[in-house]
Amino acid sequence: MFIVDLVVLARCARALLSVTLVGFLMSAPVAGQTVFFHGESDFSADLAASRVTLMAEEIENRSNGQSGNVLLELWAAPPGNDGCGQYTGWRVATAQVGQMAPGTTVRNFVGTVDANNLPETAGVYPLGLWVQQRQGDVIFWMNCVNPGGALNVVPKSSCHSQLTLASSAVSVSGNGGSGTVSVTVPSGCVWKAGSNASWLTATPANATGPGAVTYTAAANDYGVARTGYIVVGGKQFAVNQPAKATATVVEFYNPDLNHYFITADPNEQTFVDSGAVGHWQRTGNNFKAGGPNQVCRFYGNTATNPATGAPYGPNSHFYTANADECAFLKSLFNPTASSWKFEGNDFSTTPASNGACTSGLVPVYRAYNNGFAHGVESNHRITSNLAAYQQTVAAGWSAEGVVLCAPQ
């Protein structure tokens, strides 16, 4: 198997049917062939099964009024063409996502299906991963992610079935690190190694006979734990990494909305700074991520209310590190009503205990604008700046006290 890293920010996309993809897994298609994927590195596969696993981090139906069956399709385009440039070639595999109503989101989709339509002639075939919504033969919407590589069909190598790795999973520090995993394989067997993620590297890229793979992980500044994969001769091992304790949660303010927003994602911080999502400005307040609990992030239901023509909303985010509260809000989501939609985990932290933090941790306060009572959209301010918190409360917001505890 191999995994390919695809980085697409669906929150920033404007497609009516959008998809955020973390990658796809693929095993050898048929006897007599080995599949190599050429992305940042070469990935080889030589397995008995002919299976493909398509994984989508987020698929969102942004259409207005259209429902239908949503599919993920992996296509191999004719040599010399762009993988997403045309909807022709070989439909390698299709995974059924299912019916999606307008405004709904499917998260962490994984579908393992047969690879049943591969090129028979050796060559380099660009890949495109399509998401589409259809009813019968009528396609309403479609979008494509280009992995930036190709499927290279070459003569089969028979030795990879005897390749074994000393470990199936390893862990590294959130600050980054490296290690080695031994590779056992017959003498003279040529194998390739590579990574599915930009933050994870593997060396050597090519080797012959028994040896070892060295993996190196960059510091995890994103505030949440992550897993990458190293693939060696079609076999893989996982590299697990917690969040770096010094990841920074940045606070933004929108004066047009009188709303606050926080995020620990450096890419999202840069995107918000660009002004592409409105008049958001950094307040200068921030606190560190790190701790045993993941912070669940919610956003108001974006589906359109047919009675008003506006999203059900609210146009705001809500964050909680309380697992029970997170599960409760998930259960209350209603695609046809004002409710909170789960977006994912933004960063890790330590929940407050009885409104206080233990020694060595920084209290993080939360204030509420009483939006429901005042007939405006609800919003919360989450900050470790006590003076800013008190000023917000003095302006009429409700004081909700200490809700998180951040590293110093």
CATH node for 160-241: 2.60.40.10
Residue 351 pLDDT: 93
For 72-86, 144-158, 367-381, which range has the lowest pLDDT when averaged over its residues?
A: 144-158
From 189, 234, 238, select the one nearest 211 (Cα to Cα).
189
Q: Looking at residues 72-92, what average pLDDT do you find?
A: 76
**378 vs 35 pLDDT, higher one:** 378
Strand partners, 34: 154
**HEC profile for 84-111?**
CCCCCCEEEEEEEEEEECCCCEEEEEEE
Give the pLDDT band (50/70/90) at residue 291: confident
Which residues have CB under 8 Å from 300's CB, separation 6+? 311, 312, 313, 314, 315, 316, 338, 339, 340, 341, 377
Distance of CA 298 to the CA centre of its chain: 15
Which residues have CB under 8 Å from 16's CB, separation 6+? 61, 62, 63, 64, 141, 143
Q: Where are the domains of the chain?
A: 2-155, 160-241, 248-407
State pLDDT tens for residues 240-269.
Answer: 998 877 789 999 999 999 999 999 988 889
Rg (CA), the chain: 24
Rounded CA-CA distance 208/198 in Å is: 25
Contact 179, 230 (CB under 8 A): no
Residue 63 pLDDT: 63
Residue 250 pLDDT: 96
List Cα–Cα distances, 30 to 50, 151, 207, 235, 383, in angstroms: 6, 14, 25, 17, 56
Structure tokens belonging to residue 329: 């809000």
Contact 80, 88 (CB under 8 A): no
**26 vs 51 pLDDT, higher one:** 51
Q: Looking at residues 112-137, what average pLDDT do you find?
A: 73
Give the pLDDT band (50/70/90) at residue 137: low
> For residue 314, is pLDDT > 90?
no
> For residue 53, is pLDDT > 90?
no
> For residue 4, is pLDDT > 60?
no
**DSSP SS3 for 301:** strand
> For residue 9, is pLDDT > 50?
no
> For residue 116, is pLDDT > 80?
no
> For residue 222, is pLDDT > 90?
no
Residues in the chain: 408
From 302, 320, 338, select the one nearest 380 (Cα to Cα).
320
CA angle (148 as vertex; 68, 22 as ends), nearest 5: 55
Residue 273 pLDDT: 93
Which helix (H) or strand (E) element contains residue 259? strand 259-263
Contact 239, 230 (CB under 8 A): yes
> For residue 19, is pLDDT > 60?
no
Contact 84, 34 (CB under 8 A): no
> For residue 333, is pLDDT > 70?
yes
Residue 138 pLDDT: 62
Which residues have CB under 8 Å from 377's CB, separation 6+? 257, 259, 300, 313, 314, 315, 316, 371
